[in-house]
C-alpha cells in the first residue's frame, strides 16, 4: 500500500464534519434547533469563533439555517445533488483576516516610507470609488480590493502586490460570502471608508508606524465583527444586480 499524504484539516472543517455527522445520524433532527453557541462550543471544546466558521460552512452546504433573533435550525439533509459548494479547500475567514493584518500592516508601513504622492493619489482614488459605489447602493468590493492593492503598489515591491491581491481574492469564495453577508450593511461600508482614510492620512504624512497601526486596526475591527454571534448580526443589506454587488460582502 503506497504511502499517502497526511492532510491536516482546518479546525472549522473538523468541527463542521462532526456536526454534519451528528445531523446525518439524527442526533439533531430536521426542524430542531441546535444548542446555543455557548453550549456547543463547550461540548466540542472549541472557541466560539471557530464554531461560528463551522456553522457558516454548514449553512453554505444546506444543513442548517440561521434565523436571526430565533436560533440555528437543522434542515433536511441535502441529497448529493442538492449539496452546496465544496468547501474542502476554503481557507478559514478568521485565519485569513489575521494573516492579512500581519502582512498588510507591514505593507502599509513600507508604503508610508517609500511611497510617493502619485501613488497616494491613486490610493485616494480607490477610496473615492468606494464612496461612489456605496452611494449608488453597489457593494464596493472591487474598489475595496483596489485600495489594498494600491497601498501595496506604493511599496514598489511587486511580490507584495501579488501577495496582497491573492489574499484578497481568497475572501471571494462561498464561505466568506456567507459569513460576511450576515454583517454587511451600508453602515459597515461607511466605517470601512473612514478606516481607509485613516490609512491614507498616515501614508501622506509619511509615518510608517501610524500607517501600520491604522491598517491593523482596520483588520481588527473586521475580525471582531465577524467573531460576534451571527444571531446578533444586523439585518442583511439589500443586494444590487450589478457585477460589483454579487461578490463577497462585508469589508476589508
Q: What is the pTM of this model?
A: 0.78
Condensed to tens digits (0 to 9), the pLDDT of residues 54-99 reads 898 898 888 999 887 788 999 987 776 655 555 655 677 888 899 9
Report CA-CA distances (Å) from 183 to 16, 95, 180, 196, 211: 21, 18, 5, 19, 26
**Burial degree of 62 (CB within 10 A; 0-12, 13-18, 19+):** middle
Calpha distance 100→203 (Å, rounded): 18
pLDDT tens digits, one per residue of 226-243: 777 666 665 544 343 333
The full set of domains in the chain, from first to last, is 11-74 (1.10.10.10), 93-244 (1.20.120.530)
CA angle 232, 225, 235 (to 5 degrees): 40
Amino acid at each position: 500500500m503506497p504511502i499517502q499524504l497526511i492532510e491536516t484539516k482546518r479546525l472549522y472543517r473538523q468541527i463542521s464534519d462532526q456536526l454534519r455527522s451528528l445531523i446525518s445520524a439524527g442526533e439533531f433532527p430536521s426542524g430542531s434547533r441546535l444548542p446555543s453557541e455557548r453550549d456547543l462550543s463547550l461540548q466540542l471544546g472549541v472557541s466560539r469563533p471557530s464554531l461560528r466558521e463551522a456553522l457558516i460552512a454548514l449553512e453554505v452546504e444546506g444543513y442548517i439555517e440561521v434565523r436571526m433573533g430565533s436560533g440555528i435550525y437543522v434542515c433536511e439533509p441535502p441529497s448529493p445533488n442538492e449539496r452546496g459548494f465544496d468547501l474542502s479547500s476554503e481557507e478559514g475567514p478568521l485565519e485569513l483576516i489575521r494573516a492579512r493584518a500581519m502582512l498588510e500592516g507591514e505593507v502599509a508601513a513600507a508604503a508610508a516610507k517609500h511611497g510617493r504622492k502619485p501613488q497616494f493619489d491613486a490610493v485616494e482614488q480607490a477610496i473615492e470609488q468606494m464612496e461612489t459605489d456605496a452611494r449608488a447602493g453597489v457593494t464596493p468590493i472591487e474598489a475595496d480590493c483596489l485600495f489594498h492593492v494600491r497601498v501595496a503598489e506604493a511599496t514598489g515591491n511587486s511580490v507584495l502586490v501579488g501577495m496582497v491581491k491573492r489574499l484578497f481574492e481568497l475572501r471571494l469564495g462561498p464561505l466568506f460570502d456567507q459569513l460576511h453577508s450576515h454583517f454587511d450593511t451600508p453602515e459597515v461600508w461607511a466605517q470601512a471608508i473612514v478606516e481607509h482614510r485613516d490609512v491614507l492620512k498616515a501614508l501622506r504624512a509619511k509615518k510608517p508606524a501610524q500607517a501600520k497601526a491604522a491598517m491593523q486596526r482596520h483588520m481588527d475591527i473586521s475580525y471582531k465583527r465577524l467573531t460576534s454571534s451571527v444571531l446578533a448580526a444586523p439585518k442583511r443589506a439589500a443586494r444590487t444586480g450589478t457585477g460589483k454587488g454579487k461578490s463577497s460582502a462585508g469589508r476589508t
